[in-house]
Structure 1
């Protein structure tokens, strides 16, 4: 059941735009749970607010799905999320790699969405002031085998 569902999720994210948010209910169940490193919400309206906030705070957000797998009602995606921050003329490019686990309900809609990605490596280490602290901490905790 999830193979077509995970394909639908992948296509939705690769085409994600402000105008596509009206179609969230075609992909997500009304009571879907959505969790990522910054959010833990339930319901399509709450999920929509996450994406509205994303579109309001970053420029040119793009998800590229790198790999897809499914097993029963579970689907898995690995992805690359790229976006820009800053004002015109001083934009900064960002790239975040991550993975998503989704579970589908009996109607083929996403009822659970869990994003896995490392905000420290993806964002904090590249941020002035706190970045140095996170890089130092990573070096300190690393086994040094890299």
Structure 2
């Protein structure tokens, strides 16, 4: 990284953005991501700011009060690994009950401290599917069977 912004400072700015993210902030994603940034999680793989904005826009549409709490970070050169809790409530199932998904993000930064690669790691089966009706019961049964 060769700009005036150190990797640690860039990561601090990124963490602050995500911990206070609201739907209104989505227009500012270009301040954090490079124009051709890649984003991948268990459900999506996209490139470019409009597509990344779309992922987060869908999050605010589909869930109630989604928010991230960063619980740890490791910064080394132009790369960062963040651990986080994602808190939200379903809109139609268990309304108002806070759900938590625990995961991690691998970020690669460019010379200006913008994200060029954002890869999220979390266990969709344990962290999401087990919380859903019908599918959740099946997932818990499969887990018990696998552990016998």
> What's the TM-score once normalised by structure 2's chain length?
0.90
Aligned-residue RMSD, C-alpha? 1.7
Deviation of residue 130 (structure 1)?
1.2
Instruction: For residue 56 of structure 1, give the secondary structure of its aligned residue in structure 2.
Output: helix
| Cα distance in 2 for residues equivalent to 1:101 and 1:5 | 14
Unaligned stretches of 5+ residues in structure 2: 1-5
**Cα distance in structure 2, aligned partners of 1:91 and 1:6:** 31
Between the aligned partners of 1:83 and 1:32, the Cα distance in structure 2 is 26
1:11 paired residue among 16, 20, 38: 16
Unaligned runs of 5+ in 1: none
* CA positional deviation for 1:140: 2.4
For 1:130, which of 124, 135, 141 is the aligned residue? 135
Q: Secondary structure at the match of 1:50?
A: helix
CA distance in 1, matches of 2:117, 2:91: 32
Equivalent residues, number: 143
Q: Work out the CA distance in 1 between the residues paired with 2:70 and 2:23.
A: 19
Alignment of 1:17-28 (within 5 A): 17-28=22-33
